[in-house]
C-alpha cells in the first residue's frame, strides 16, 4: 500500500486530501495507522504494533485492517503498490 504523501493529518484526526478536496475524521487508532503508513511502515509493521498495543485476536485485527485499508483506498488516500 502506498499513501498519498500530500495528505495532511492533524493531531485531532482531521485528514485533508489536497488533490480531491475531501476531508475525513479518524479515531485515535485510525490516526495511528495512517501516520504509520505515512512514515513508510509496511502493513506487517502496522499489524505488529497494533497487536502489541491492543488486546485483539489476529483474525479480527486482519479483518479490521482490511476494512480500513479498503476505505482508505476507496477515498483515494492510498493506492496499491
Partner 1 sequence: MERKKITVAITGLNNIDSPGPGMPVARGIKESSYFDTRVVGLAYDHLEPGIYMKEWVDKTYMIPYPSKGKEALFERIKEIQAKENLDFIIPNFDAELFSFIKLENQINQLGIKTFLPTLEQFEERHKSNLPEYGKKYGVNVPKSEEAFSMNDLANILRSYTYPVMVKGKYYDAYKAYSLEQAQAYFSKLSAKWGYPVIVQEYIDGTEVNVIALGDGKGNVISAVAMRKQYITDKGKAWGGVTIADDSMLELTHKIISQTKWRGGMELELIRTTDSKLYILEINPRIPAWVYLAVGAGQNLPEALVKLALGMEVRPFTSYDIGKMFIRYSWDMIVDIDMFSKLVTSGEL
Residue ranges binding partner 1 (CB under 8 A): 6, 8, 16, 18-22
Q: Which is nearer to partner 1, 10 or 66 (CB)?
A: 10
- Under 8 Å between Cβ of 34 and 3: yes
Q: Position of cell 493531531?
A: 11
Give the shortest CB-59-to-partner 1 separation in angstroms. Answer: 31
Give the shortest CB-72-to-partner 1 separation in angstroms. Answer: 16
**Cβ-proximal residues to 5 (8 Å cutoff; 6+ apart), any chain:** 38
Q: Which is nearer to partner 1, 8 or 56 (CB)?
A: 8
Q: How many CA atoms lie within 13 A of 31 on its CB side?
A: 12
Question: Other CB atoms closer than 10 Å to residue 72's CB: what's the count?
Answer: 23
Q: Which is nearer to partner 1, 22 or 48 (CB)?
A: 22
Give the shortest CB-16-to-partner 1 separation in angstroms. Answer: 6
Amino acid at each position: 500500500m502506498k499513501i498519498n504523501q500530500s495528505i495532511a493529518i492533524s493531531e485531532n484526526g482531521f485528514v485533508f486530501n489536497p488533490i480531491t478536496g475531501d476531508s475525513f475524521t479518524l479515531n485515535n487508532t485510525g490516526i495511528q495507522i495512517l501516520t504509520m503508513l505515512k512514515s513508510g511502515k509496511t502493513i506487517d509493521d502496522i499489524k505488529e504494533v497494533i497487536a502489541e498495543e491492543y488486546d485483539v485476536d489476529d483474525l479480527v485485527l486482519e479483518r479490521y485492517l482490511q476494512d480500513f485499508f479498503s476505505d482508505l483506498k476507496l477515498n483515494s488516500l492510498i493506492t496499491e503498490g
